[in-house]
């Protein structure tokens, strides 16, 4: 058949690619047995769209998703009783089932399989007699299947993708020396409005040795994080990118760009109700609202949690005619290139799209839900406040207890930390003027370029403070906040690093163990180190919680008294003295740990954050903050 785009609305397409590779014999026999017409060539390639906007709009619509695992019998008796053997391959991830043919499953067994995949992340079936048409039918049972706009397909069976490394190498050669060989850890279709759910890969042809695939558990990766760090990333969102690039119809001269979507970093699986980490090195680009350096640091750590903890991974050795079904919502995966492309490998893949990712703060982790956490973990969670009681372990049919306002517990006396409230995020806080003129208030959409309202307001009836002044400062109400300056807290360590080289060179070994030497002058140049700075405790005044005005009135005067020291701490690496006229802005993202920046930097970063927060409305600017671009691997 002549190549056509997968959506009839697409008219701008690229010249089709012609393939002349010979099919491996096992793949040819399987396809011919299924009645696949190979006379016009194999595989079939749809006409590739040229423009980003066309691809973005293919499935850019709200649609319901029927989660089959949510209605399954939790005992999975129909599925397990029909199998001859069920084996968990590791503690956290991976189960192999023997004695079943996927093409013969009843609807009840399909539902139970969906639940098993949701719990165990990936399920393996060897010796499957399965046609591409039967593979597609199973995928359609689990949801709308993805028809990729440009990857090769089985002729006459749209939605069944061809996975053939020899074919892929004609466009993007793999190499043993390349990191990852042919792939990197990734999750499929993260750029979709409704990303991938269950993927079913059937390999009819595999190397005699090598070519394994690895999966890592998102449930377990999330549980590897400390309760404090979980709380930091819970509810945050990131920008996720497509594997392929397309031209921007509005700016084709800028070259191909990725498709981008914004999704939560931590999501909840609708069948289990468990939280899972959902990032991957290949396609998660940046965290919304953070500076690029901050985002890269945090994402790099999260990627490592997945990739370096072998106890939350499973590595599977393929045999011919094996099917593997995994859930992209709770896993990342990677293919091993240790066979170097020296043997044929061929398979077909069907991916069922799932729900739009969502986060639920009340959802438990897998270990909490199953009652598997140790006494030490329970103590840690109770101390941290992440586990106020053991409600997650109760039957979820029990009704939650409703408390009246008078029954609510009193706020804690102090807060070690906490995210600033949505009202607090609106503050634009200058650190060079008196309080009455130092602060203005952005609109609720946090557009830094929109007109701002003065915090101190004068009218014909007198003077007063902006209406947000009495709003809560921190999202979880607290009666006091202990505040420190990030610049002043880091000054001593920066000073020590600066003086380390000549201090070490001139230090007498007899004095190297002096307990007080760190508080004395530098032995090399005689310069005194920065003094220690006290923290500031802000108490609630008229309300039972710290208000924005409580915080501002105390912290502004305190910071103004330290302004010259802050300038010097920021200038520690420069030879020139600090400019006393430098315009500084207070960035109260975490009220306990005050970060100061220059007005110029603040404007730039605030604009970038605003653009990221509104990225879904204008998805085609793929350069990212400060025009940074990154190379991405294909699925």
CA gap 593, 318 in Å, rounded = 51
- My answer on whether omega of the bond before 467 falls inside 30° of 0, hence cis, is no
For 433, left (φ over 0), alpha (ψ -120 to 50), or beta?
beta
The single residue of 45, 48, 68, 186 carrying the catalytic annotation is 186
Give me the catalytic one of 48, 333, 367, 615. Answer: 333
Can 333 be counted among the known catalytic residues? yes
Catalytic residue flag (residue 188): yes
Which residue, among 533, 230, 591, 595, has the nearest Cα to 415 in the 3D structure? 591
d(CA 575, CA 425): 35
CA 509, CA 502: separation in Å to the nearest integer?
14
Question: In the annotation, is 338 catalytic?
Answer: no
Q: What is the DSSP letter of 401?
A: P
Catalytic residue among 231, 269, 349, 615: 349
Tell me which residue of 117, 262, 121, 264 sits closest to 192, measured CA to CA: 262
Question: Are the C-beta atoms of residues 578 and 567 closer than 8 Å to each other?
Answer: yes
Cα separation of 462 and 26, whole Å? Answer: 86
Task: Give the span between the Cα atoms of 160 and 8, in whole angstroms.
Answer: 19
Q: What is Dmax (Cα atoms) for the chain?
A: 89
Centre a 10 Å sphere on the Cβ of residue 14 and count the other Cβ atoms it contains: 13
Q: Is 423 a catalytic residue?
A: no
Whole-number Å distance between alpha carbons of 491 and 496 = 9
Q: Are 356 and 194 in contact (CB under 8 A)?
A: yes
The answer to whether 89 and 95 are in contact (CB under 8 A) is yes
How far apart, in whole angstroms, are the C-alpha atoms of residue 511 and residue 441? 54
Options 188, 248, 285, 612, the catalytic residue: 188
Classify residue 74 by burial, with Cβ atoms within 10 Å: 0-12, 13-18, 19+.
Answer: exposed
**Residues 174, 333, 212, 223, Cα dihedral to 10°:** 140
The residues that are catalytic are 186, 188, 333, 349
């Amino acid at each position: 058949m002549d190549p056509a785009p997968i959506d009839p609305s697409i008219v701008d397409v690229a010249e089709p690619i012609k393939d002349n590779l010979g099919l491996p014999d096992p793949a040819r026999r399987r396809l011919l047995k299924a009645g696949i017409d190979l006379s016009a060539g194999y595989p079939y390639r749809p006409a590739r769209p040229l423009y980003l906007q066309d691809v973005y709009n293919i499935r850019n619509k709200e649609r319901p998703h029927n989660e089959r695992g949510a209605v399954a019998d939790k005992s999975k008796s129909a599925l397990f009783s029909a199998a001859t053997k069920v084996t968990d391959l590791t503690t956290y991830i991976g189960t192999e089932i023997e004695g079943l043919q996927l093409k013969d499953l009843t609807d009840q067994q399909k539902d139970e399989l969906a639940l098993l995949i949701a719990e165990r992340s990936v399920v393996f079936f060897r010796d499957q007699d399965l046609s591409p048409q039967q593979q597609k039918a199973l995928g359609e049972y689990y949801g709308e299947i993805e028809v990729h706009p440009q990857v090769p397909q089985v002729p006459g069976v749209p939605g069944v993708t061809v996975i053939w490394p020899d074919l892929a190498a004609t466009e993007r050669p793999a190499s043993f020396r390349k990191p990852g060989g042919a792939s990197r850890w990734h999750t499929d279709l993260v750029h979709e409005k409704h990303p991938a759910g269950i993927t079913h890969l059937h390999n009819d042809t595999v190397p005699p040795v090598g070519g394994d695939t690895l999966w890592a558990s998102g449930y377990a990766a999330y549980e590897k994080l400390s309760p404090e760090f979980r709380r930091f990333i819970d509810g945050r969102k990131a920008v996720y990118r497509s594997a392929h690039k397309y031209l921007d119809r509005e700016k084709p001269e800028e070259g191909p760009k990725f498709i981008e979507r914004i999704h939560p970093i931590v999501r909840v699986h609708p069948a289990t109700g468990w939280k899972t980490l959902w990032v991957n090195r290949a396609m998660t680009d940046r965290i919304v609202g953070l500076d690029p350096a901050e985002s890269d640091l945090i994402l790099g750590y999260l990627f490592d949690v997945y990739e370096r903890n072998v106890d939350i991974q499973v590595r599977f050795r393929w045999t011919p005619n094996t099917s593997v079904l995994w859930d992209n919502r709770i896993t990342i995966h990677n293919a091993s290139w240790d066979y170097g492309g020296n043997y044929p490998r061929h398979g077909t893949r069907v991916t069922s799209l799932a729900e739009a990712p969502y986060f639920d703060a009340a959802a438990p982790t897998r270990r909490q839900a199953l009652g598997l956490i140790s006494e030490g973990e329970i103590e840690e969670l109770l101390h941290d406040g992440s586990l106020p009681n053991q409600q997650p372990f109760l039957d979820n049919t029990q009704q939650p207890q409703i408390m009246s306002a008078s029954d609510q517990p009193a706020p804690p006396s102090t807060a070690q930390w906490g995210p600033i409230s949505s009202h607090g995020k609106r503050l634009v806080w200058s650190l060079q003027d008196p309080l009455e003129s130092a602060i203005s208030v952005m609109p609720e959409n946090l557009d830094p370029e929109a007109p701002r309202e003065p915090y101190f307001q004068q009218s014909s009836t007198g003077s007063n403070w902006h209406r947000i002044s009495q709003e809560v400062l921190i999202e979880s109400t607290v009666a006091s906040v202990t505040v420190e300056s990030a610049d002043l807290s880091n000054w001593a360590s920066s000073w020590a690093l600066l003086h380390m080289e000549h201090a070490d060179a001139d230090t007498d070994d007899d004095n190297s163990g002096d307990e007080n030497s760190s508080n004395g002058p530098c032995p090399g140049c005689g310069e005194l180190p920065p003094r220690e700075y006290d923290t500031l405790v802000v108490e609630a005044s008229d309300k039972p919680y710290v208000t924005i005005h409580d915080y501002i009135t105390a912290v502004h005067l305190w910071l103004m008294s330290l302004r010259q020291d802050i300038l010097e701490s920021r200038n520690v690496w420069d030879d020139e003295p600090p400019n006393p006229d430098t315009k500084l802005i207070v960035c109260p993202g975490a009220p306990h740990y005050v970060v100061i920046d220059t007005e110029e930097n603040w404007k730039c970063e605030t604009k970038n954050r605003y653009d990221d927060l509104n990225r879904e409305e204008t998805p085609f600017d793929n350069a990212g903050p400060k025009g940074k671009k990154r190379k991405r691997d294909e699925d």
